[in-house]
A and B are shown apart, each in its own frame.
Chain A
C-alpha cells in the first residue's frame, strides 16, 4: 500500500468576512519531510494550519492530513498530529506540569520521562505557574506539548517565536530528532534564515497563495543582501566594474553601500585589493525579498 502524503492541499480558500485570507492554496508534503512554510505577516500561514486541524472551516478546496479528511475524521487526525498554535494561550492558573498532564490525558497518556527530557533540554521549570511565565517560557510549554506524544505529524506555527537564539537552536535540534524518529515536520516562519537553516523544502505563501515551492538554498542564491563597506580611502572610479552580481552602488566618500545578489565571492575578491576597515552584511527581510524578486518578475 502506497503511503498517503503527510499533507495534500488543493485549492484551499478561506475568507474572514470580506478579507480573503486564502485564495487557493496548493501544497503537498511527503512523509518524513522537514518542511518550511514561509510567508510574511498576514500571508495565511496560521489560517492554513488551523484549517488542517478543523479549528476553522475552509470555504472551498480540499485538504487531506495523513490521508484523512480533517473535517470528517477530526478526532483521528488530531490523535496523530502535534500542534503548536501561533498564538498560544494556556489556562494561566496552573503549573506547567499540570497543563502538560492535562494535555497528556487528552491524548490518552504520554511517556512522562520524555516530557522531563524535553523540559530539561529547553530549560523549562515544570513547577512554575503558567501565569508567572515569560513569553518565551510559555512558548517552551507549547513546544513540549506538541512534541511529547511523538506524533506522526507536527504542525508548528512559528515554533521559535519568543525564544532566545540558544533555545531556537535547541528547538531546531528537537525538530531534526523528531524527523529522524520518522515524523513529518511542517513549520511556519517568516524568518528566511531559520527556514534556510533547517528545512529541506520550503513553500512560500503570499497573499493567500503559494508563490512557489523550492529548495531553501535557492532562497539564499536569489536573495539580495546589502553590504556596507567602510574603506580607508575612497575607491577609485570603476573599481567594482565587472563584479556582475553587485549593483546599486552608493558612495559617500570612503563609505560604500553595495547590493549583492547570490554569492559574495566576486565582491570579496574585488574588495581585497583595497584597505577595508569594516564590512557589514544585512539580510533582507522576507518582504524585501518579495519586493525584489516577485515584483520584478
Chain B
C-alpha cells in the first residue's frame, strides 16, 4: 500500500529504501504512528493526573487523608508510566509472536529495546503535559497544548525529510533525540538518556509547583498573572 504513494509522501513516512528491513518497517509503522497515537492518550492522562481531580473537586478530600503531596505526585506519575509501558508491551507482544513467521532477522529482545525510545518520548510529552497542567488554568488546555506540540513535532519530523531548513528546526525539538526504527538494531543510549533527563527536569518543576499549590475545591482556574505567580 505504501509503495503506491508518490515519492514525496513516502519521504514523509520514512526512508523508502529501508522499508524491507526490520528497522525500516518498524520505523514506518510503529516508531512514527505509535508515539503519536499513544502520545495523545498520555498527554491527556498526564494533564488530568492531578489537575483533573482538582477540577472535579475530589483532590480536596483525597489530600485531607494521610497522603503527602510528594507521594501522590510521584505515585500517580509512576502509575501512568506503568500503564504506558503496558500498552507498549502489548504492542511488542503482538510483534514478538509474529516474528518467527517473517523473514526479519531481529530478536524479540532487540525489538523490545526498540520500544525504549518511544517510552522515553511518551514520558517526555507526558511530563510536559503534567507541567502545563500546573501552570495553565485547566487540565483540558494543558492536554490540548501538549498534544498540539506533539502533533506539530511529529509533522515536522515527517516534513524535515523534504527540506533542509526544516531539518535544522527539527534538530531543536525532542524528536531529534528520538531514535525511530534504528533502535531495534543499535539502541543509542545517549539520546535515550537525554530524553529521560529532560522528562525528569520537567517533572521536578511540576512537582515543585504542585507542592506550593493551593488546592481548589473544584472548577478551572482563571487566567491571571497573579494566579500564575502564585501557582
Contact = CB atoms under 8 A, between A and B. Distances in A.
B64 A55 contact: yes
A106 B62 contact: yes
Interface residues of A, number: 28
B76 interface: no
Contact of A87 (B57, B66, B212, B227): B57
Q: Which of A79, A91, A108, A142 has the most CB of B within 10 A?
A: A91
Interface residues of B, number: 21
Contact of B218 (A55, A87, A106): A87
Contacts of B215: 50, 55-56
B65 A103 contact: yes
A145 B61 contact: yes
B199 to A, nearest CB: 27
Interface string B43-67: 0000000000000111011111111
Contacts of B66: 75-76, 78-79, 106-108
Contacts, number: 67
Contacts of A74: 68-69
A3 interface: no
A143 B217 CA distance: 17
Interface in A65-101: 74-76, 78-79, 81, 83, 85-91
A53 interface: yes
Contact of A53 (B56, B64, B217, B226): B64
Interface in A173-192: none
A57 B214 contact: yes
B224 interface: yes
A53 B62 CA distance: 11
Nearest to B217: A87
Interface of A: 17-18, 46, 50, 53, 55-57, 74-76, 78-79, 81, 83, 85-91, 103, 106-108, 142, 145
Closest 4 CB pairs of A and B: A89-B57, A79-B66, A106-B65, A83-B64
8 contacts: A50-B215, A55-B63, A55-B215, A56-B215, A76-B66, A78-B66, A85-B60, A107-B65
Interface of B: 56-58, 60-69, 212, 214-215, 217-218, 224, 226-227
Given A55-B64, A108-B66, 17 more contacts: A17-B224, A17-B227, A18-B226, A50-B215, A55-B63, A56-B214, A56-B215, A57-B214, A83-B61, A85-B60, A85-B61, A85-B64, A87-B57, A88-B61, A89-B61, A91-B56, A103-B65
